[in-house]
Amino acid sequence: MKDLTTNQHLSARDEDLAVIAVPAVMAQRLAARCTAAMTGHQWSMGNLRTARAVLRSPDSASLVGRLAARLSRRRSAPGWAVLALPPSLDDGAMRIAAAGLLGAVGRPFFSISQQGRLWIGQESSPARDVAAFGGIGEQRLHIDAPNVERVPDYTSLLILRPDPAGGGASLIGDLHAAMSVLSDDDRAQLARPVFFEGRADGLSGVGAPRMPFPILDATGGGPPWIRWAGKMLDDPRNDSDLMPVVRRFADALTRCTHELMLHRGHLLIADQQRVAHGRTALGDQTGLPDGSRRLLQQAKAAAEPTAPVHDSMLAGHGE
């Protein structure tokens, strides 16, 4: 078994490579030329064309090339990246600029509607389930919507306000590295379409619910998907006889997980075919007034071969 370290903090050099600074001029162009307009559950095509014109300009080539190098599906690439927008942007401009950057990998969309906005999510609150999106406790590693026909290719998290109590570090786990340390027998068990997780009703852009499903899913052609959510360990619908192998995978994933702290303006983009994400618990929220707690928002993207990042890969800039 490979020697993997639990919750590795990124070294200063690795964090420098992972965090890609977005030039202020680029961010301002995206925010000024694009809007929040949607077509159904998708960011409007007019917005997408406008954003990609900015991203294909010569002065954007370096950023897009660095993003391609991190989001290539080659095993040597990490499958995730953090784009650092100027923190001085106001929240509205930051959301629009972040949508434009997400358009580098695919068509931005929401799967859960919150008044039809692309970016969903509200201020963290002790009133929510502690492990939920917007809760204050630890959130175990997972991919978004593992229980649907079309798992979103990319998910993204935009920090508008970090936890003032200093908690809520992001976790990124390498799904395929974890799967590779299991035995053939374990992988065969995880490939059985017998697993359950949560609910998947009323979602947009992801097809119908798919339950039960295989954790290791090689049915679609190409690299397999690993349909994982830590909550499966507690779902009573899952066969208790299979829990030992599910726990072995969970333990392996923990051992190949990086931890990093995101700050205002940081946009984490994760390729869900490669990595799972989660968070550590927030700090002590006692006495924090409404409007001061952590505010993180989420949007997804469907991969498109014509997106700038994939153009860059084909041109060799992602090598």
Q: List 195's β-bridge partners, or say none.
A: 213
What is the Cβ-side half-sphere exposure of residue 149, based on CA atoms within 13 angstroms? Answer: 8
Per-domain residue ranges of the chain: 8-314
User: Are 62 and 71 in contact, with CB atoms under 8 Å apart?
Assistant: no
User: Are 141 and 276 in contact, with CB atoms under 8 Å apart?
Assistant: yes
Q: Does domain 8-314 have CATH number 3.30.1860.10?
A: no
Contacts of 13 (CB under 8 A, 6+ apart): none
> What are the angstrom distances between the C-alpha of 296 and each of 166, 172, 218, 252, 267?
14, 16, 32, 28, 10
Report the 10 Å Cβ neighbour count for 244: 10
- Name the pTM for this structure: 0.93
* Predicted pLDDT of residue 118: 99
* Predicted pLDDT of residue 2: 36
* Predicted pLDDT of residue 293: 95
Per-residue pLDDT of the chain (319 residues; tens, 9 = 90+): 333 334 566 555 555 668 999 999 999 999 999 999 999 999 999 999 999 999 999 999 999 999 999 997 777 789 999 999 999 999 999 999 999 999 999 999 999 999 999 999 999 998 888 888 889 999 999 999 999 999 999 999 999 999 999 999 999 999 999 999 999 999 999 999 999 999 999 999 999 999 999 999 998 778 899 999 999 999 999 999 999 999 999 999 999 999 999 999 999 999 999 999 999 999 999 999 999 999 999 999 999 999 999 876 655 555 4
Copy the structure tokens of residue 239: 């066969």
Cα separation, 141 vs 177, whole angstroms: 14
Contacts of 106 (CB under 8 A, 6+ apart): 153, 154, 301, 302, 303, 304, 307
* Predicted pLDDT of residue 9: 61
For 8, phi and psi rounded to 5 degrees? -70, 130
Residue with tokens 């401009």: 93
Cα separation, 152 vs 126, whole angstroms: 28
* Predicted pLDDT of residue 72: 78
User: Are 194 and 246 in contact, with CB atoms under 8 Å apart?
Assistant: no
Of 4, 138, 75, the closest CA to residue 273 belongs to 75
